[in-house]
Structure 1
Amino acid sequence: MSSSEDDTPLMATNGRVNGTSSATKVDAKHPKVKAESSQLDPGISIRFGPVQDRDVEMKDAEGGASKRKGRTSVSHQKSYAESESSDEDDQPLSKRRRTSMKHKDPETDEDVPLARNGRKLPKASETAIGESSDSDVPIERKLAAQKKKIEQRAARKPAPKKETKPTPATKKQTNGVKKEPAVKKVKAESVSPQKPKGKAVKRESEDADEKEDEDDDEEYRWWLDPTKGDGTNKWTTLEHSGVVFPPPYEPLPKNVKMKYDGVPVTLHPDAEEVASFFGSMLNSTHNVENPVFQKNFFGDFKDIIKKTGGAKDSKGNKIEIKEFSKCDFKPIFEYYDAQRQEKKNLPPAEKKRLKAEKDEAEAQYQYCIWDGRKQKVGNFRVEPPSLFRGRGEHPKTGRVKTRVLPEQITINIGKDAPVPPPPAGHRWKEVKHDREGTWLAMWQENINGNYKYVMLAANSDVKGQSDFKKFEKARELKKHIAKIRKDYQKKLRDDMMVERQKATAVYLIDQFALRAGNEKGEDEAETVGCCSLKYENITLKPPATVVFDFLGKDSIRFYDEVEVDPQVFKNLKIFKKAPKKEGDEVFDRLTTSALNKHLQGYMSGLTAKVFRTYNASWTMGNLLKEMNATGSIPEKVKAYNDANRRVAILCNHKRTVTAGHANQMEKMGERIKGLRYQKWRLKQMMLDLDPSLKKKKGASFFELDEDLDKEWIKEHQAFLIEEQSQKITKKFEKDNEKLAAERQKEMKATELEERLKVVKEMEKKFNKENKTGKVEAEGKGPTVERFENSIAKLDQRVETMSLQAQDKEDNKEVALGTSKINYIDPRLTVVFSKKFNVPIEKFFSKSLREKFEWAIKSVEEDWEF
């Protein structure tokens, strides 16, 4: 590989295997590959095309499917220390998937070369597949053409320049963590000679009665503190107030009962609570009409009815509940729906009061003291009992999630800190002092046996450090990516089957962003990733096209038709060779743990996720380098979104077009037409003041746009009249609410009638204009100059709204948020903001600005990924 290719990723590997994300390569092909096949362009993707013929040349796929059972779940470990090489930052135990035991552990057991497996290593001629008519699949997505252009353009890019002398924000890294001078607390002015251009994130205000320390005006920049690296202990002192439990169940009114076969049924409160779980969500048809959801719920419901003494009618006679179809939960739904509407219709002042009361009650739980610093806690509320929904087609959907008691909760706190008291009459399961963990409390839920954790909020120092280390680890991959690609290209032809499988898997992860994947147990959704691909998930189409079709993350279909390296195509054919059949795994010699162990041999903590993060950030960084965003702020924002969209296309961060998209676009179109109608009216007012303008400016300047016909104008006028009427009515109601809150006399209905006279005058004016075709000048002191200024402002609004509409249309099939928040280094967004003078608020919401405070304050416009 030439030196110019060393830091150039073959593709942007920033995709989720969920039917909406994959990726394609963006740099020049390897010389070896190019020499073998000058006709191919590995990595070109044709997504969502039809699957036509499946492996027509392969006749050995006979027999029924045979699926191996997943291993039994691994018992919970005693140590709660976080693995520094975890694929997810602060990953809870519930997310650590089980992996299947395959033939042998490829990292420890010996393997037999292909040539000694009872047959000779097949020659290239023997593995070739005949010509097929399937290679002519049409590109059905308009993004595919754009995607190919991006890849070709990226392939011609020169290698990135070597990093210059590191600044305090970009020094040499070790294991993905920056090494900085020892600093614990520094004043904002002394951190860097250059003041940050972005607005500083506001500090959380301390309690009114709390004394202010002398160093409160000092800002703690942990990203410049080397003591907060990858050490074993995450904290020295920790204090918090525990967790907030959901309120106890309030029984339904006596007149509200579930019916069975038309008869109202009396249940024990515990059973009634479970009935209310189902009854309250009848409007969620996606769940309650799901047969699996119904079956699981009804099974648990019958069990709890049996345990609590059964169901009875109004006379006390026992009723045996046997059939789900005879259960009527509508009375329960109507009761809860009425409560929801009542809460929704509360006056704003009352809603504000209730929220203030709730915030006051929970104030002590919202923060903890972590190493002497006040940090916001994220999910301090214990999950309430409910019905489990699950992601995708989960086999346990509908099961009852039982109430979590204090006896199930383990508290993690400092040794010298006061332990928060449990609710009266209860005790904690255990109190730990685990300084290696970043969790404050944990419990095990009853559905999947997963552990739930109370963690710090996203904008806390600890979470910020987690994000920082993730992106620094991706930056570190720059040093190793060339060797990794060189090695897997070489090992694609290895004599050892396990080495070939390993190299092919890394190729697919790097080239097409397949997640590593794990074997699933029988009680989990049947989703797959690279290592767990089944025989039927891959279709081979000559000469080098592979079709992936499977359920990925969240049980969303992943379909991608791609051209691959010829050797990868041959390998996949070997991996699918008889006696393998449907249900068998393609990578039968490889486990996810073995693959991760192999990747970490190149770099500490390297996983498939790091590949995606690196390639997404590298691609975005290079797009920003060649960008020259000019014009208004909306135009610059669109330029950024265009770059982000290109990354998302390359990474195949696709999404399904929402059901309301067409309606939203129609509304935006109507609003733009409404602005153009206002411009026409203003021009007519100019003529009313000075008829000679028609000659000066030309008749065409005053003409009505062709699409604004008389029928549309009448409809729009009716809309404007109704809109004005609603505004006046709402303002009247709000004023009365304010008077009531201040215990003053409310206004009478006659006042509203008086205010609505303006609407009647507007209606008369529109009717007159429609008859005469003339518009009279209106407003105080109307002049031609004032109307021209108003027209100029409307032109700007039309332009801005048109850009927003185009942006929305372009993004209807692309998920920009996924790449911007999770995969593209946020410092690149900050670089764009500072380089082109666009407020960071245009890209990051308030919560994201708090989450990425470290990025906003740590770089300037010359920073490079």
Structure 2
Amino acid sequence: MSSDVSASSNRLLALKSAPNGHNPVGSHMNGHSNQNGAESSMSEDDDLPLTIRKGESVSPPPRNLKRKKPVYAESSSDDDAPLASSPAKRVPAAAVRTPGAEVTTTSVSRLNGKRIIKSESPSSDVDDAQESRKTNGKAKKPPKKKLKEDTDDFSASEDEKPIATKKPAPSRKRKVKEESEVDEEEKPSTKKPGPKPRAKKPKKEEDASGSEAPKPKKRATKAVKDKDGNTKGKKKEKKEEDEEEEVFKWWEADGNSDGSIKWQTLEHNGVIFPPPYEPLPKHVKMKYNGKDVNLPPAAEEVAGFYAAMLETDHAQDAIFNKNFFEDWKSVMKNHPPLDGTKIESFTSCDFRPMYEYFEGERAKKKAMTTQEKKDAKKAKDEMEAKYTTCLLDGRKEKVGNFRVEPPGLFRGRGEHPKKGALKLRVRPEDIIINIGKDAPIPVPNMPGNWKAVQHDNTVTWLANWTENINNNHKYVFLAAGSSLKGQSDMNKFEKARELKNHVDRIRQNYTRDLKSKVMADRQRATAMYFIDKLALRAGNEKGEDEADTVGCCSLRCEHVTLEAPNFIIFDFLGKDSIRYYKRVDVEPQVFKNLRIFKENKNDEDNLFDRVNTSSLNKHLTSEMKGLTAKVFRTFNASSTFQRLLDEENLEDATLQEKLNAYNKANRMVAILCNHQRSAPKTHDQSMEKMRYRHRSLKYERMKLRHVLFEMEPKYKKNKKYAEDESDIDDDWIAAYEEAEKAKDIEKAEKKFAKDNEKLVEEGNKPQGDKVLRDRIEAIEEEYERLASERGTKKATLKTRKPVEKIEEAIEKLTDKIKGFRLQIEDRDAGKEVALGTSKINYLDPRITVAWCKIHDVPLEKLFSKTLLTKFPWAMQAEEDWKF
């Protein structure tokens, strides 16, 4: 489930104090969360729109996209809602005990003020949690581990469990150090597949005398086989392998996954509510007109939500501030300041003392020792253990978002009219529990009773409630890697594949209807053209209190500009307030239709005034059972991705070249689907570091070339080694060597201090300062030697090496430089495109699995641990599988 406000986890910068504690210039920190079912949970920067490139767009002129009338927006229905990202990425709500958003739990009264504040600590049954750990411990392993018994495609570490396929991938003969720079948010696992365990002879059966089979050598990483022919290694690995048999391989089981009955028995422990609010220390007060204000806990908690966000862009937003202040004043009507202060002016409020306190608490948490952090995590994991799994038809399945989001301030995306509004605390009385008839009803971990308990086995959610901001329903589902989620994903992609058999006929039909004399049919055909060719969402009507985002059916005349002879410029806010700006050429009949649709209409009138999402989807269903605009979008994304990958000739390509080709295809799909993000704020700094590293590799190769020339002058005539590094001059070399000398001296000083600490701990005499001085002198002498070689094209090594070894080292560096340059190009090309969204929601994972097998690419380079867990069923795809 989403977490609108994680106030205390925002990165905040201390700036100059001003009224309200604001920075008058504006903060550069902004942490967005997905409020409207955003497609990607990959980045906090995804919500900022940008211009599309690659010839499909032009730089958009500044434009005010504020609504003028009641607006209509894209669909937020289940048919067009993207799947949620893996809950493994979520930040736990109660991780920090500060009065920020994630830890506050005082009962905030509804804005009409009818609730009583309760501050009881949540009840927790330690014995139950311990018993749950005993019985449920095995279920905590990622489900992907279950497939290892079929293959040895990937070696496992404790962190990265393999997902296997029926057919092992070819073994890789070379070791590549570079990692794939895929996406800022969805960084793939960097674990490298280890060598396959060498096969050993099975242990001999115990004979009648009871003699045991010979024990394997004491090398835990090597696998051996027991008397049953099963491989085993370290005790931990053996324990994990024993658990594999208990994981349900639903994709291999018989049964109808499309039936209305989703389960027979369901048992779970409900949800976790955030802990109660802890009042601030007495010396921490907000100020009003320069004087401290004594707030009661309920009002103080809401003030803390805002204070924790003081140095974010939200606190500089007028709408955000207005909504917060109105809701805060409503809370204070029922819980007024204890000292009688009348708070009537927002500009007279100073929240900075509270902000500084939160920053201090955050710094304390950051300064915790590694052991303290481990202990805190262990205690949290033990408390949550029984909530992480459920029993579905008698087998354990992981639960996804089992934490109830804490109260806080709604952030929204873009120009949402309700940003800054107060999200009320969710209580047991707000939640409906769905569970099996014979299952025990879970007990909430805070005082109260569930709103209702039902036993509906035709739905897959475990709990739901309605949040107070947009009255949206919030659900608790099973985790991304669960059988129900997996079946849903596979059915979605299979439905998109089925469209291949109908798409030609559907396109012929809507092309014919582009000239229909019935205006409704002509508008519907034009909308279908956009959905098919441009992958637009269907769109849906929205009210005045919702963000002005639109889809295909809810486009207004102001969103479409015609440019002769047949170009159209789209300019509107799409889902999550991401700007969609494209200049595209269309068929002449489509251009003609749009000119007709816009006649005698104002800018704020609907372009398609005779088509809505319901009628469009009804027509799509008549063309193919189960067809929706979402299916079209998935089909176009996956088919385009498959085509782009197949067009690449990667026969003699390096690993990095293959990864770049894959990411390029993914970027094209992301652009098609308008999966944009703003460039990360640290992008330029990151790119500069990469370019510096690239040059340093060239420096190393240059020195080796000069060593080779000194040893064998004939190599100077060899074209392979004769070319100089064009972007490395003497000035850069001097600066580089000086920087490296400073780094080496710093390392020597740290090592000296560390060695002395160890000696003292062992009761020995520490080294004298002369030892450090000698080390530093040796470093300085080495860099003086390098300085003397500068510009001479001559160099020597500390240890003499044969020519063959130097040639080999130069070859390796050349390959490394080439691969690193490709990484730089790939990173820079993807700075404004969110690649993770496509992988999660629109690209059939079997395309990637089959492509990796064909081109001998480690799947971990392209799929994160979350995706490996989410798509275990896709690992069965063979090399020749095509979408």
Does the TM-score normalized on the shorter chain lie above 0.5? yes
**Residue equivalent to 1:415:** 437
**Residue equivalent to 1:562:** 584
Instruction: Give the Cα separation in 2 of the matches to 1:322 and 1:621.
Output: 60
**Residue equivalent to 1:235:** 263
Deviation at 1:753, TM superposition (A): 9.1
Secondary structure of the 2:541 match is coil
**Contact preservation (8 Å) 1:504, 1:568:** yes
**Within-5 A mapping of 1:105-124:** none
Cα 1:807–1:830 change in 2 (3 A) is: same
Instruction: Give the Cα separation in 2 of the matches to 1:408 and 1:329.
Output: 31
Q: Which residue identity lines up with residue 231 of structure 1 in the other structure?
A: G
**Residue equivalent to 1:348:** 370
Q: Which residue identity lines up with residue 762 of structure 1 in the other structure?
A: I
**Residue equivalent to 1:113:** none
Deviation at 1:477, TM superposition (A): 0.5
Post-superposition CA distance 1:399-449 (Å, at most 9, x none): 111221122222211111222212354222222212111111222212111
Cα 1:793–1:46 change in 2 (3 A) is: closer
The reply on whether 1:251 has 2:222 as its aligned counterpart is: no
Instruction: Give the Cα separation in 2 of the matches to 1:500 and 1:18.
Output: 34
**Of 626, 631, 652, which residue of structure 2 is paired with 1:610?**
631
**Contact preservation (8 Å) 1:18, 1:558:** no
Secondary structure of the 2:623 match is coil
**Residue equivalent to 2:400:** 378
**Residue equivalent to 1:195:** 166
Post-superposition CA distance 1:276-328 (Å, at most 9, x none): 111112221x211000000011111112122113352xxxxx22111111111
**Residue equivalent to 1:860:** 878
Instruction: Give the Cα separation in 2 of the matches to 1:362 and 1:581.
Output: 56
**Residue equivalent to 1:292:** 319
**Contact preservation (8 Å) 2:83, 2:840:** no
Secondary structure of the 2:275 match is coil
**Contact preservation (8 Å) 1:222, 1:228:** no
Post-superposition CA distance 1:674-712 (Å, at most 9, x none): 11112233344556xxx4523454499478634322321
**Residue equivalent to 1:840:** 859
**Residue equivalent to 1:634:** 656
**Gaps in structure 2 of 5+ consecutive residues:** 1-38, 41-45, 86-145, 152-163, 170-192, 195-234
**Contact preservation (8 Å) 2:287, 2:351:** yes
Instruction: Give the Cα separation in 2 of the matches to 1:333 and 1:860.
Output: 56
Instruction: Give the Cα separation in 2 of the matches to 1:322 and 1:430.
Output: 40
Percent identity between matched residues is: 48
Q: Which residue identity lines up with residue 860 of structure 1 in the other structure?
A: E
**Residue equivalent to 1:797:** 816
Q: How much is the aligned-residue C-alpha RMSD, in angstroms?
A: 3.9
Instruction: Give the Cα separation in 1 of the matches to 2:774 and 2:451.
Output: 68
Deviation at 1:566, TM superposition (A): 2.0
**Residue equivalent to 2:133:** none
TM, length-normalised to structure 1 = 0.73
Deviation at 1:596, TM superposition (A): 0.9
Q: Which residue identity lines up with residue 819 of structure 1 in the other structure?
A: S
Deviation at 1:476, TM superposition (A): 0.6
**Residue equivalent to 1:365:** 387
Secondary structure of the 1:453 match is strand
Secondary structure of the 2:540 match is coil
**Residue equivalent to 1:511:** 533
**Of 66, 69, 82, which residue of structure 2 is paired with 1:67?**
69
Instruction: Give the Cα separation in 1 of the matches to 2:614 and 2:599.
Output: 25
**Within-5 A mapping of 1:457-606:** 457-578=479-600, 580-606=601-627
Secondary structure of the 1:561 match is strand
Post-superposition CA distance 1:443-492 (Å, at most 9, x none): 22121111211111111121111111111010011111112111111112
The reply on whether 1:809 has 2:862 as its aligned counterpart is: no
**Of 857, 866, 870, which residue of structure 2 is paired with 1:851?**
870
**Residue equivalent to 2:414:** 392
Instruction: Give the Cα separation in 1 of the matches to 2:679 and 2:510.
Output: 37
Cα 1:375–1:388 change in 2 (3 A) is: same
Instruction: Give the Cα separation in 2 of the matches to 1:349 and 1:215.
Output: 29
The reply on whether 1:718 has 2:732 as its aligned counterpart is: no
**Contact preservation (8 Å) 1:388, 1:400:** yes
**Gaps in structure 1 of 5+ consecutive residues:** 1-13, 24-43, 54-63, 75-82, 93-184, 201-206, 313-317
**Within-5 A mapping of 1:433-452:** 433-452=455-474
**Of 307, 311, 315, which residue of structure 1 is paired with 2:334?**
307
Cα 1:765–1:339 change in 2 (3 A) is: same
**Residue equivalent to 1:32:** none
**Contact preservation (8 Å) 1:413, 1:432:** yes
**Contact preservation (8 Å) 1:296, 1:398:** yes
Instruction: Give the Cα separation in 1 of the matches to 2:767 and 2:521.
Output: 85
**Of 415, 423, 427, which residue of structure 2 is paired with 1:401?**
423
**Of 797, 815, 829, which residue of structure 1 is paired with 2:848?**
829
Instruction: Give the Cα separation in 2 of the matches to 1:500 and 1:530.
Output: 14
**Contact preservation (8 Å) 1:728, 1:755:** yes
TM, length-normalised to structure 2 = 0.72
The reply on whether 1:47 has 2:51 as its aligned counterpart is: no
Cα 1:489–1:729 change in 2 (3 A) is: farther
**Contact preservation (8 Å) 1:186, 1:220:** no
The reply on whether 1:708 has 2:738 as its aligned counterpart is: no
**Contact preservation (8 Å) 1:438, 1:455:** yes
**Residue equivalent to 2:452:** 430
**Contact preservation (8 Å) 1:654, 1:815:** yes
**Residue equivalent to 2:190:** none
The reply on whether 1:278 has 2:306 as its aligned counterpart is: yes
Deviation at 1:532, TM superposition (A): 1.0
Instruction: Give the Cα separation in 1 of the matches to 2:756 and 2:608.
Output: 70
Post-superposition CA distance 1:713-744 (Å, at most 9, x none): 2321233234445556777888999x89xx96
Post-superposition CA distance 1:468-520 (Å, at most 9, x none): 11110100111111121111111122222211111111111112222111121
**Residue equivalent to 1:325:** 347
Post-superposition CA distance 1:591-633 (Å, at most 9, x none): 1111111111112221112112111211222333343312322
The reply on whether 1:87 has 2:80 as its aligned counterpart is: yes
Secondary structure of the 1:588 match is coil
Instruction: Give the Cα separation in 1 of the matches to 2:299 and 2:276.
Output: 14
- Of stretches 385-394 and 658-667 in structure 1, the one that deviates more from structure 2 is 658-667
Cα 1:538–1:346 change in 2 (3 A) is: same
Cα 1:707–1:495 change in 2 (3 A) is: closer
Q: Which residue identity lines up with residue 880 of structure 2 in the other structure?
A: D
**Contact preservation (8 Å) 1:240, 1:365:** yes
Deviation at 1:766, TM superposition (A): 1.1
Cα 1:219–1:423 change in 2 (3 A) is: closer
Secondary structure of the 1:86 match is helix
Deviation at 1:525, TM superposition (A): 0.5
**Contact preservation (8 Å) 1:675, 1:794:** yes
Deviation at 1:262, TM superposition (A): 0.9
- Of stretches 384-393 and 648-657 in structure 1, the one that deviates more from structure 2 is 648-657
Q: Which residue identity lines up with residue 602 of structure 1 in the other structure?
A: E
